């Protein structure tokens, strides 16, 4: 039983990270029906920028928490800038183009970002400085660390903040209006370009925080770390119903838990024919299963009535 | 007219060939990554070969009655198999008499085919490539002066079994040829030593989230965990294992037996057991260590004693064959018995070093410290090994 609880804790932590990244995919898709495949790379850049800042500040003797806050504070604007530039340079000129064109540019941007990161931060795995002492707490036989608690708490806060932004503010209303019908939104005085750019920037800010959390959690940053994570988060977004904000949150957490339980129990269930290295496959099995049974995703009804 | 032309041509030919006979410069190739992530290790390899060649030149060696001067031609293979074969072809075209290199197994294996394809095949000795496949290709011109991965698995497994005395061991690998191969060797050795091994758990060479696997492992409470993989995945594995409260002894192969472990795993790295092929540089002969320090103003990092020996082996074989022709000195290299900076060197039929040493390290306060040397199945404490080689040097 304590193993089951432990796997749940592992899964929820992983799922919280997926959910935050998935929000970036789903928000952009909700507004311009574009799958921004470069979003995973924005997460990676966030981790890398934070790595540089923490490495530079670690010897100064500042309090560790302050260093992490400064690093996150540097990663967020850096990622926002990349998110904005990406939208302005690669996607806006293709707004009216067939759907395939921006999809290809998205893949292109993702490759470019990876290689730029490789040139700046080298191709070696970077050890993320472990400046905060990790505290472990025991619940029954299971262990939860302070980092896991922080990740879950920050993710919940960010998701809550985003929900308030989307459903309770004027900007959120404008975003939803643009998602619903850009032309009509324009008629009532909403600048669609500005709203789309803002959506990218908000998504990138979330990605930056996710990057810092992932790298801090695993203690490692690498220029390819974004692609697999991005793909999983994309699955989470589709699982929950792409374009749907609460759906992305649910999808992320669900995916994390399924992966952890899957990797933990597949060996026992199949008599060790399949091993835990099939962990990454679960995301895609679940994705296919959900899409077959519910093509619009778990919370996908609202996608249907959007224009 | 024709006759005088012929005569002229003959005279020119004679002059040219005469020149060749007087020329005494012998080229020896060195190939290692001199740029990129492991450039420091590549330079270390090159330095070892360079030192051997400079010493040989200073000794004014005579081969076939003439004093010879060796030239080191050093190329950068960028640790890239594609660049490696290009570099190998360049060395073949430069008509080198022998090659010291390459550094990486993945580069050495394709490059060895290029040296083997030259006519006559050019002898190459690597001081650092440990993948068994290199010498399993049946090439007569390929040698290595370090141990093989399939000697390393039994070494670390036996050490683990005899010191930590585990009853139950979890073996994890990264599903690569290296990681799985090493893990298989470890499992085989442990089972033979009557230690129970859990069903294999696997990640990939990109896995950073080991929590699910480790939680499962924790449920069986093993006394030791072995991981076959590199430091980029091993570091997070070790750290997450300790975070989950696994108290078992962790042990890794050489891919994760690097100083990087300190940064990647932090304090969790303390107490790690890991193995490397060969002996650590500080265990090489004092004469070598002193001359290296004097010549390059730094200490050797990793494989320099081995590339030093590799270059010396080429020169020694040439001396014994009294020829610099690869076809003539290759047989001498095959049956050589030589006292090098890393101990006595002889080759088996495949070109592997007979009785290669393996070193066991442990991480203490963020430093990898050698604790034991394993040779021909016998484990010697590191201090005793140093004392022995010290005595041998005095004799």
pLDDT at residue B242 is higher than 70: yes
Chain B, 237 to 256: residues with Cβ < 8 Å from chain A are 239-240, 243-245
Q: What is the pLDDT of residue A307?
A: 34
Tell me whether B209 touches chain A (CB under 8 Å): yes
CATH of A2-305, one of 1.10.260, 1.10.287, 1.10.3470, 2.60.40: 1.10.3470
Peptide bond into B18 cis (omega under 30): no
Tell me whether B204 touches chain A (CB under 8 Å): yes
Q: Report the pLDDT averaged over residues B107-112.
A: 94
Tell me whether A146 touches chain B (CB under 8 Å): no
> Which residues does chain A have within 8 Å of residue B175's beta carbon, measured at their own beta carbons?
277
pLDDT at residue A26 is higher than 50: yes
Give pLDDT tens digits for B130-170.
888 999 999 999 999 998 888 889 999 999 999 989 999 99
- Nearest CB neighbour to A219, from listed B211, B218, B235: B235
- Nearest CB neighbour to B206, from listed A6, A122, A228: A228
Q: What is the pLDDT of residue A302?
A: 47
- Nearest CB neighbour to B216, from listed A136, A219, A276: A276
Q: What is the pLDDT of residue A305?
A: 41
Tokens for B155, please give them: 């070494």
State which H helix or E strand residue B276 sits in.
strand B273-277
- Residue B138: left (phi > 0), alpha (psi -120 to 50), or beta? left
- Dihedral angle sign, alpha carbons of residues B121, B125, B128, B130: positive
Give pLDDT tens digits for A164-223.
999 999 999 999 999 988 889 999 999 999 999 999 999 999 999 999 999 999 988 988
- Please, which pLDDT band fits residue B361 given cuts at 50, 70 and 90? very high
Q: What is the pLDDT of residue A123?
A: 73
Q: What is the pLDDT of residue A22?
A: 95
Q: Tell me how many residue pairs between chain A and chain B have CB atoms under 8 A apart.
A: 102
Question: Could you tell me which of A301, A88, A93, A306 has the C-alpha nearest to residue A185?
Answer: A306
Tell me if A242 sits within 8 A of A31, measured CB to CB: no
pLDDT at residue A146 is higher than 60: yes
Cα-based angle A259, A260, A261 (whole degrees, multiple of 5): 95
- Nearest CB neighbour to B202, from listed A123, A129, A277: A277
> Which residues does chain B have within 8 Å of residue A259's beta carbon, measured at their own beta carbons?
212
Q: Which residues, in sequence order, are CB contacts of B17 under 8 Å at separation 6+?
A: none
d(CA B127, CA B306): 5
Q: What is the pLDDT of residue B9?
A: 56
- Nearest CB neighbour to B212, from listed A130, A143, A260: A260
Q: Report the pLDDT averaged over residues B357-376.
A: 89
Tell me whether B366 touches chain A (CB under 8 Å): no
Give per-residue burial for B39-48: e unless 16+ CB within 10 Å, then b: eebbbbbbbb
Chain A, 166 to 195: residues with Cβ < 8 Å from chain B are none
- Please, which pLDDT band fits residue B282 given cuts at 50, 70 and 90? confident
Q: What is the pLDDT of residue A303?
A: 44
CATH class of B150-277+358-394: alpha beta
DSSP-assigned letter for residue B257: -
CB contact (8 A) between residue A10 and residue B215: yes
d(CA A188, CA A169): 17
Give pLDDT tens digits for B19-61.
444 447 899 999 999 877 677 888 999 999 999 999 999 998 8
Q: What is the pLDDT of residue A138?
A: 86
Count of all residues that appear for chain B in the document: 395
Give pLDDT tens digits for B246-257.
999 999 998 888
Q: Which residues, in sequence order, are CB contacts of B287 under 8 Å at separation 6+?
A: B341, B393
Query: SS3 of A294, please?
Result: coil
Q: Which residues, in sequence order, are CB contacts of B206 under 8 Å at separation 6+?
A: A224, A228, B233
- Please, which pLDDT band fits residue B395 given cuts at 50, 70 and 90? very low
- Nearest CB neighbour to A3, from listed B209, B215, B263: B215
To the nearest whole Å, the CA of B29 is away from the closest chain A CA by: 28
Write the DSSP string, A229-280. HHHHHHHHHHHH-TT-HHHHHHHHHHHHHHHHHHHHHHHHHTTTSS-GGGHH
Q: Tell how strand B358-364 and strand B367-375 pair up.
A: antiparallel
Tell me whether A152 touches chain B (CB under 8 Å): no
Q: Report the pLDDT averaged over residues B325-338.
A: 93
CB contact (8 A) between residue B264 and residue A125: yes
Cα distances from B273 to residues A176, B172, B326, B384, in angstroms, run 57, 15, 42, 19
Residue boundaries of the structural domains of chain A: 2-305
CB contact (8 A) between residue B216 and residue A3: yes
Give per-residue burial for A81-94: e unless 16+ CB within 10 Å, then b: ebbeebbeebbeeb
d(CA B79, CA A223): 19
Cα-based angle B36, B42, B45 (whole degrees, multiple of 5): 180
d(CA B343, CA B357): 9
Query: SS3 of B380, please?
Result: strand
Cα distances from B253 to residues A215, B157, B369, in angstroms, run 25, 10, 15
pLDDT at residue A91 is higher than 50: yes
- Residue B175: left (phi > 0), alpha (psi -120 to 50), or beta? left
Cα-based angle A254, A257, A263 (whole degrees, multiple of 5): 135
Q: Which of A1, A5, A8, A10 has the most B C-beta neighbours within 10 Å, making it the best mutation to test the interface with B?
A: A10
DSSP-assigned letter for residue B60: T
- Please, which pLDDT band fits residue B280 given cuts at 50, 70 and 90? confident
Question: Which residues of chain B are in CATH 3.40.50.2300 domains?
Answer: 2-147+281-346, 150-277+358-394
Residue B206 phi, psi dihedral angles, 5° rounding: -120, 0
Q: What is the pLDDT of residue A285?
A: 86
d(CA A94, CA B277): 56
> Which residues does chain B have within 8 Å of residue A11's beta carbon, measured at their own beta carbons?
212
- Nearest CB neighbour to A220, from listed B202, B208, B212: B208
Question: Could you tell me which of A168, A161, A166 has the C-alpha nearest to residue A195?
Answer: A166
Tell me if B105 sits within 8 A of B95, measured CB to CB: no
Q: Report the pLDDT averaged over residues B368-395.
A: 76
Give pLDDT tens digits for B2-21.
555 555 555 555 554 444 44
For chain A, the average pLDDT equals 89
Q: What is the pLDDT of residue B249?
A: 95
At the topology level, CATH places domain B2-147+281-346 in Rossmann fold (3.40.50)
> Which residues does chain A have within 8 Å of residue B266's beta carbon, measured at their own beta carbons?
130, 219
pLDDT at residue A127 is higher than 90: no
ipTM for the predicted complex comes to 0.84
Tell me if B306 sits within 8 A of B159, measured CB to CB: no
Q: What is the pLDDT of residue A306?
A: 42
CB contact (8 A) between residue B202 and residue A134: no
Write the DSSP string, A22-90. HHHHHHHHHHH----TTHHHHHHHHHHHHHHHHHHHGGGT--HHHHHHHHHHHHHHHHHHHHHHHIIII
pLDDT at residue B213 is higher than 50: yes
Give per-residue burial for B82-100: e unless 16+ CB within 10 Å, then b: ebbbebbeebbeeebbbbb
Q: Which of B203, B211, B247 has the most A C-beta neighbours within 10 Å, making it the best mutation to test the interface with A?
A: B211
């Amino acid at each position: 039983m304590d193993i089951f609880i432990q796997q749940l804790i592992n899964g929820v932590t992983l799922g919280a990270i997926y959910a935050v990244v998935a929000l970036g995919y789903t928000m952009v898709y909700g507004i311009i029906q574009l799958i921004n495949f470069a979003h995973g790379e924005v997460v990676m850049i966030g981790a890398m920028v934070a790595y540089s800042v923490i490495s530079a500040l670690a010897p100064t003797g500042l309090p560790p928490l302050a260093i992490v806050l400064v690093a996150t504070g540097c990663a967020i604007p850096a990622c926002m800038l990349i998110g904005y530039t990406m939208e302005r340079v690669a996607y806006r000129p293709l707004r009216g183009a067939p759907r395939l064109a921006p999809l290809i540019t998205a893949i292109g941007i993702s490759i470019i970002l990876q290689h730029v990161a490789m040139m700046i931060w080298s191709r070696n795995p970077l050890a993320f400085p472990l400046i905060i002492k990790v505290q472990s707490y025991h619940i029954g036989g299971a262990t939860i660390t302070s980092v896991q608690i922080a990740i879950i708490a920050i993710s919940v806060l960010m998701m809550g903040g985003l929900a308030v932004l989307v459903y309770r503010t004027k900007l959120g209303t404008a975003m939803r209006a643009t998602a619903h019908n850009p032309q009509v939104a324009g008629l009532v005085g909403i600048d669609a370009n500005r709203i789309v750019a803002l959506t990218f920037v908000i998504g990138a800010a979330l990605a930056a925080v996710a990057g810092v959390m992932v790298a801090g959690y695993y203690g490692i940053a690498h220029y390819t770390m974004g692609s697999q994570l991005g793909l999983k988060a994309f699955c989470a977004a589709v699982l929950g119903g792409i374009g749907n904000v609460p759906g992305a949150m649910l999808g992320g957490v669900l995916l994390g838990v399924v992966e952890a339980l899957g990797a933990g129990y597949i060996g026992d269930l199949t008599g060790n024919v399949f091993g835990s290295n099939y962990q990454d496959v679960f995301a895609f099995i679940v994705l296919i299963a959900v899409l077959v049974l519910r093509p619009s995703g778990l919370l996908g009804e609202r996608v249907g009535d959007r224009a | 007219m024709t006759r005088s032309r012929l005569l002229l041509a003959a005279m020119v030919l004679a002059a040219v060939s005469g020149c060749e006979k007087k020329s005494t410069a012998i080229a020896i190739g060195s190939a290692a990554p001199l740029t990129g992530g492991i450039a420091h290790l590549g330079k270390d390899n090159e330095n070892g070969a360079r030192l051997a060649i400079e010493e040989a030149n200073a000794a004014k060696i005579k081969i076939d009655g003439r004093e010879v001067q060796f030239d080191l031609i050093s190329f950068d293979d960028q640790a890239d198999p594609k660049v490696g074969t290009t570099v190998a072809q360049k060395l073949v075209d430069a008509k080198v008499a022998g090659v010291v290199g390459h550094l990486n197994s993945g580069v050495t294996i394709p490059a060895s085919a290029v040296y083997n394809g030259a006519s006559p095949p050019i002898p190459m000795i690597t001081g650092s490539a440990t993948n068994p496949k290199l010498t399993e290709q049946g090439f007569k011109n390929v040698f290595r002066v370090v141990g093989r991965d399939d000697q390393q698995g039994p070494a670390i497994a036996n050490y683990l079994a005899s010191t930590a005395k585990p009853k139950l061991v979890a073996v994890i690998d990264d599903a690569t040829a290296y990681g799985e191969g090493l893990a298989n060797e470890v499992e085989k050795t442990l089972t033979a030593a009557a230690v129970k091994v859990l069903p294999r758990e696997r990640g990939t060479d990109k896995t950073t989230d080991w929590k699910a696997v480790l939680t499962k492992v924790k449920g069986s409470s093993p006394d030791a965990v072995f991981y076959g993989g590199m430091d980029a995945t091993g570091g997070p594995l070790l750290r997450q294992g300790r975070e989950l409260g696994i108290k078992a002894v962790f042990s890794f192969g050489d891919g994760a037996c690097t100083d990087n472990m300190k940064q990647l795993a932090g304090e969790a790295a303390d107490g790690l057991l890991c193995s490397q092929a060969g002996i650590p540089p500080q265990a090489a002969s004092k004469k070598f260590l002193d001359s290296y320090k004097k010549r390059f103003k730094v200490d050797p990092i990793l494989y320099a004693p081995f590339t030093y020996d590799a270059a010396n082996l080429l020169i020694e074989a040439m001396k014994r064959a009294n020829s610099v022709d690869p076809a003539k000195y290759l047989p001498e290299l095959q049956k050589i018995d030589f006292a090098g900076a890393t101990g006595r060197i002889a080759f088996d039929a495949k070109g592997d070093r007979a009785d290669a040493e393996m070193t066991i390290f442990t991480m203490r306060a963020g430093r990898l410290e050698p604790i034991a040397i394993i040779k021909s199945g016998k484990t010697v404490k590191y201090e005793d090994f140093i004392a022995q080689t010290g005595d041998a040097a005095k004799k």
